[in-house]
Amino acid sequence: MTEPFFSPDEIERYARHIVLRGVGGPGQQKLKAARVLVIGAGGLGAPLLQYLAAAGVGLIGVADDDIVALSNLQRQVLHGTQDVGRAKTESAAAAIARLNPHVKLVQHKARFSADNARALVSAYDVVADGSDNFATRYIASDACFYERRPLITAAVGAFDGSLTVLRPYESAPDGEPNPTYRCLFPEPPPEGAAPACAEIGVLGALTGILGAMMALEVTREIVGFGESLVGRLVLVDALDMRFETVRYRWDPANPLNGKRAAMSRSAASDGEHSFGETLTGTGRGPR
């Protein structure tokens, strides 16, 4: 006899998913078989990793080259005081092993960059970007487009946050291509217009809210319940505790799946050249 897909421990552990209409046993099997890449083990990545592991995602990769600092602990709840000075990927691996021994975490101790983006993305089914800068977000969106992987991307400010899902390699029911990250943000903001949290601060619990929402959308992409956030941007205002959802559409001028880009790809054998050219308009990774 073949062994059951779930051990008795897993059946008990995931019981609330298994009885949940819209997930059930088949959905939990999809989660166990899924491979998810998380970019960054910081403010967004920490709660995201915890909920993905708790949900039973079978293989989680985390890409981060940073170490745990004491100032991280106000919001990066995956790490503890004893982890200060430790690589974030190592701290994450230890925490996930304690949380759910049925989950495998793969450490990528490297900065997610134009040099390794496509190789990393291609090894996973879904990508979740919790990075803290526009350069990395553009690189992630471009790599996911060329590798045809769904991307869940979020960002936080001092008291605000945003979240969306990108599948620009597919088309909407009306035949129009799905929008890209560059349809939302054609150009990165001017230098200094989006200061880092070290300069302006960030509400710790807000990163937990957005990170948990990212985990929900990753789960949705894997299992397939409800309506995807493709073409919709969720805005969170923590000052007044307001949530707003706005729709956005494909921009024919965008350099990924716009009209000119489609003509360029038809004349090329693959997207390698386009990928290098479109990254933040410079071909360089994050600095």
Cα separation, 109 vs 131, whole angstroms: 15
Set out the domains of the chain in order of their start, with CATH numbers. 8-281 (3.40.50.720)
In Å, the largest CA–CA distance within the chain is 63
Cα separation, 105 vs 35, whole angstroms: 10
| Non-local CB neighbours of 16 within 8 Å, separated by 6+ positions | none
pLDDT (0 to 100) of residue 236 = 98
DSSP per residue over 208-251, as a string? Answer: HHHHHHHHHHHHHHHH--S---BTEEEEEETTTTEEEEEE----
Q: Are 188 and 287 in contact (CB under 8 A)?
A: no
Q: At residue 286, does pLDDT exceed 50?
A: no
DSSP per residue over 15-71, as a string? Answer: HHHHTSTTTHHHHHHHHHH-EEEEE-SSTTHHHHHHHHHHHT-SEEEEE---B--GG
The residue type at 45: G
Tell me the average pLDDT of the chain: 90
pLDDT (0 to 100) of residue 261 = 77
Which residue is it, tokens 């793969």? 106
Which range, of 2-6, 34-38, 73-77, 159-163, averages the lowest pLDDT? 2-6
List pLDDT tens digits, range 165-186. 999 999 999 999 999 999 999 9
- CB neighbours (10 Å) of residue 154? 27
Average pLDDT value for residue range 247-262: 90
pLDDT (0 to 100) of residue 51 = 98
List pLDDT tens digits, range 179-234. 999 999 998 887 766 667 777 889 999 999 999 999 999 999 999 999 999 999 99
| Non-local CB neighbours of 50 within 8 Å, separated by 6+ positions | 77, 78, 95, 96, 99, 215
pLDDT (0 to 100) of residue 275 = 55
- Active-site residues, by number, are 197
Identify which has the larger pLDDT, 236 or 3. 236
Average pLDDT value for residue range 75-85: 97
